[in-house]
Amino acid sequence: MAFAVSSSKAARVAAPAAAEKRAAQVCRVSSRSASSVRPVVVPVSASRARATSVIVAAAATASPSIADKFKPNAIAKVPITQQKQTCIITGASSGLGLAAAKALAATGEWHVVMACRDFLKAEQAAKKAGMAPGSYSIMHLDLSSLESVRQFVNTFRSSGRRLDALVCNAAIYMPTAKEPKFTADGFELSVGTNHLGHFLLSNLLLDDLKQAPNKRPRCIIVGSITGNTNTLAGNVPPKANLGDLSGLAQGVPASNPMMDGQEFNGAKAYKDSKVACMMTVRQMDKRYKDSGVTFASLYPGCIAETGLFREHYGLFKTLFPPFQKYITKGYVSEDEAGRRLAQVVSDPKMDKSGAYWSWSNSTGSFENQVSEEVADDAKASKLWDLSAKLVGLA
Ligand SMILES: NC(=O)c1ccc[n+]([C@@H]2O[C@H](COP(=O)([O-])OP(=O)(O)OC[C@H]3O[C@@H](n4cnc5c(N)ncnc54)[C@H](OP(=O)(O)O)[C@@H]3O)[C@@H](O)[C@H]2O)c1
């Protein structure tokens, strides 16, 4: 498999690995002695909710001078050319994101920054997945708050790590919700989290990607077959449709929570958000053609048992995995899906910008066609302009 480290590869990464190890040793010493790093030490016995609020509070109250001292990673002293490649993965505490983090970290060539809203859950998940200490770090990110996105970018920058790949993976899906929920900024939760949070994050981190010593840094936003109406799965009602974007123009607020301005539907809101993710990748490719960054999206297969379906009916959760395994044959395990995503991050052959990748069980990866709506560049451009305004970039 592409992620086994060959001896020649191991030799190539030996210098960065040694530098990272030295940095980790320094970090352990400083975290025992420096009182300034105390805010990130979350008590293991604390409840998840309390721990999360501790992290948010630490980030929210840090003045710039404290933030400067607050460089928990001695990696900041290692020149970026001697650091391992770094990949940020949002929503790496479970499912696809965790599996991809595990696959990348296991190569020995990547350091993974797990950008998660629940620090303890992420730490426990990484340990359970067997990820080696030092092969990953966890930074707080709640995509349902634009302020949190901005704070994450500041925290990442102050860590001194290079950035070679950004994977916008986190998502929520509320197929049974009767009423919409909203982000801290008042956007409908699915669109606000899956699309607008990632829209801001990827735009803010573009400059960091451009500075990567890696010749071809990558920005990947996870898409879905369910947003592509040129497929069977994409034709299961309610179908994705951004309509005239009149709801988004208003910021998908309580009075108009769907992007197309129609009545709220939780399943459709997810599918619409995935259309927006795939359109954003295509727009990035057009708008940042000369940036040297590769922009891509993908559908990794149906990972029928992940937490994405946590809000679905019990019967659905029981029947969906065997249905995908034996009837549609679209089922893919978390590990396999994680390897696929890791491949899009690191495989030199998957370097085409603007591509939407899929896999066939027999022939492997291929560049897939997106739906007519996703390919509608005029609509995508309008989506971009509205999104930029909503997140404060325009
Ligand atoms: N499962 C499938 O069949 C399938 C198919 C196609 C595409 N996908 C895509 O794959 C990606 C991952 O989904 P998954 O199936 O692996 O589901 P998952 O296990 O539920 O993973 C979703 C991740 O997103 C995180 N998240 C949710 N809201 C967040 C927020 N406000 N801020 C930060 N992180 C947040 C979750 O964090 P918590 O752990 O804290 O909840 C979790 O780590 C999604 O983009 C999804 O659209 C999935």
Question: Which range of residues forms the domain containing residue 246?
Answer: 7-390
Give the Cα separation of 392 and 394 in Å (integer): 6
Using CA atoms, how far residue 225 sits from 64, 89, 275, 294, 310, in Å, is 43, 21, 9, 21, 19
Structure confidence by residue, pLDDT tens digits, 119-141? 999 999 999 999 999 999 999 99
Q: CB-based contacts of 81: which residues, under 8 Å, 6+ apart?
A: 213
For residue 193 and ligand 1, the question of a CB distance below 6 A is answered with: yes
Give the Cα separation of 388 and 394 in Å (integer): 5
| Reported pTM | 0.86
Q: CB-based contacts of 29: which residues, under 8 Å, 6+ apart?
A: none
Residue 291 lies in a domain: yes
User: Among 186, 254, 194, 252, which residue's Cα sits nearest to residue 224?
Assistant: 194
Question: What confidence tier does 207 reach under pLDDT thresholds 50, 70, 90?
Answer: very high
Determine contact, residues 101/92, Cβ cutoff 8 Å: yes
Structure confidence by residue, pLDDT tens digits, 263-314? 999 999 999 999 999 999 999 999 999 999 999 999 999 998 898 988 888 9
Residue 210 sits in a domain of what CATH number? 3.40.50.720
Q: How large is the average pLDDT for residues 95-102?
A: 98
CA of 12 to the centre of ligand 1 (A): 33
Residue 238 lies in a domain: yes
For residue 141 and ligand 1, the question of a CB distance below 6 A is answered with: yes
Give the Cα separation of 192 and 49 in Å (integer): 21
Inform me whether the pLDDT recorded for 238 exceeds 60. yes
Give the Cα separation of 251 and 8 in Å (integer): 51
Range with the poorest average pLDDT among 25-34, 78-87, 381-390? 25-34
Residue 247 lies in a domain: yes
Q: Can you tell me whether residue 275 is helix, strand or coil?
A: helix
Give the Cα separation of 125 and 59 in Å (integer): 22
Domain count, the chain: 1
Q: Calculate what percentage of the chain has a pLDDT beyond 90.
A: 72
Residue 309 lies in a domain: yes
Inform me whether the pLDDT recorded for 17 exceeds 80. no
Ligand 1 pocket, mutate which of 306, 309, 341 (most atoms under 8 A from CB):
306
Give the Cα separation of 68 and 133 in Å (integer): 25
Residue 324 lies in a domain: yes
Give the Cα separation of 297 and 281 in Å (integer): 7
Ligand 1 pocket, mutate which of 112, 146, 303, 329 (most atoms under 8 A from CB):
303
Residue 41 lies in a domain: yes
Residue 82 lies in a domain: yes
Residue 1 lies in a domain: no
Inform me whether the pLDDT recorded for 84 exceeds 50. yes
For residue 97 and ligand 1, the question of a CB distance below 6 A is answered with: yes
Structure confidence by residue, pLDDT tens digits, 40-64? 323 223 333 333 333 333 333 333 3
Q: How does the average pLDDT of the chain come out, rounded?
A: 85
Ligand 1 pocket, mutate which of 56, 117, 120 (most atoms under 8 A from CB):
117
